[in-house]
Amino acid sequence: MLSPDDTSQMDGVLEILPRTFSRRHLLSERRQGIIQQKHTVEVLPLSEYDPHAKIMRRQVVQLREENRRLRFELEEQNRLKKALEAQPEHVQSLQEKPIHYYTCFISYSNKDEEFARYLHTDLEAIGVDCWFAPHDMKIGDKIRLRIDESIRLYEKLLLILSEHSVLSQWVEHEVETALHKEYEGTPNVLFPIRLDNTVEHIKTGWITDIQTRHIGNFSSWKNPDDYKHAFKRLIRDLASEKSLR
């Protein structure tokens, strides 16, 4: 039976649900408006000699991009909704006492974005503050500068290792920035997890430093039970020292 404190903490978690539904509703309305506006622009008869043709076509491209962005955001909101509805016992077990998590910068290859989005949504749902490029990189940001600043600000670099990320120059740069932070005195900045066994077979380069560390195993992440087990281990280890006292 839950104590009053446990119940209040659980209520705080479940309060996410109505906010999620409201957010999804607004996104859905916005997307429908975009689709209708795009359809209106696309059916206009545009002669190639029409002085407004280029402007109209540019609007179509912008509307398509906005529609794509909203579609991705809706998909993540749907995942968050399902996670909160389908795993109440899991959420309850995580909230039996106040838990403080290390903040995380998520480092990954674009080819692993499906998993990265999946993981980011679940981490945010339980209160882990994450820097995730598709959400936090602002238009006009100087990419490398923003990444370097964010790695310095966030406590852990959650490194998603795969056959793709071990070949990524961006991931390599992010790892080197995190290692520099460790060399300056911050312990255990790197927080590696793997999607396959590629990391075990590389003999040179920055990966050799990663191989000396314990690496979380998400190689079976598409199996719900295996993912849940790996995720529980991940968030257990992401609990900060404040939560362990």
* Residue 240 tokens, joined: 């900060």
**Structural tokens at position 21:** 């539904």
Torsion of CA 95, 97, 103, 106, to 10 degrees: -30
Residue 59: its pLDDT value, please?
A: 67
| pTM: predicted TM-score of the whole model, two decimal places | 0.63
DSSP string over 174-232: HHHHHHHHHHTT----EEEEESSSGGGG--SSTHHHHTTS--EE-TTTTSHHHHHHHHH
Q: Do residues 194 and 163 touch, judged by C-beta distance below 8 A?
A: no
pLDDT given for residue 196 in this prediction: 96
What is the pLDDT, as a whole number, of residue 64?
A: 72
Looking at residue 84, its pLDDT comes to 54
pLDDT by position in tens, the chain (length 245): 434 444 444 444 444 444 444 555 566 666 666 666 655 555 555 555 566 666 666 766 677 777 677 676 677 666 666 655 555 454 455 455 668 999 999 999 999 999 999 999 999 999 999 999 999 999 999 999 999 999 999 999 999 999 999 999 999 999 999 999 999 999 999 999 999 999 999 988 889 889 999 999 999 999 999 999 999 999 999 998 765 45
Quick one: CA dihedral 101, 104, 110, 111, positive or negative?
negative
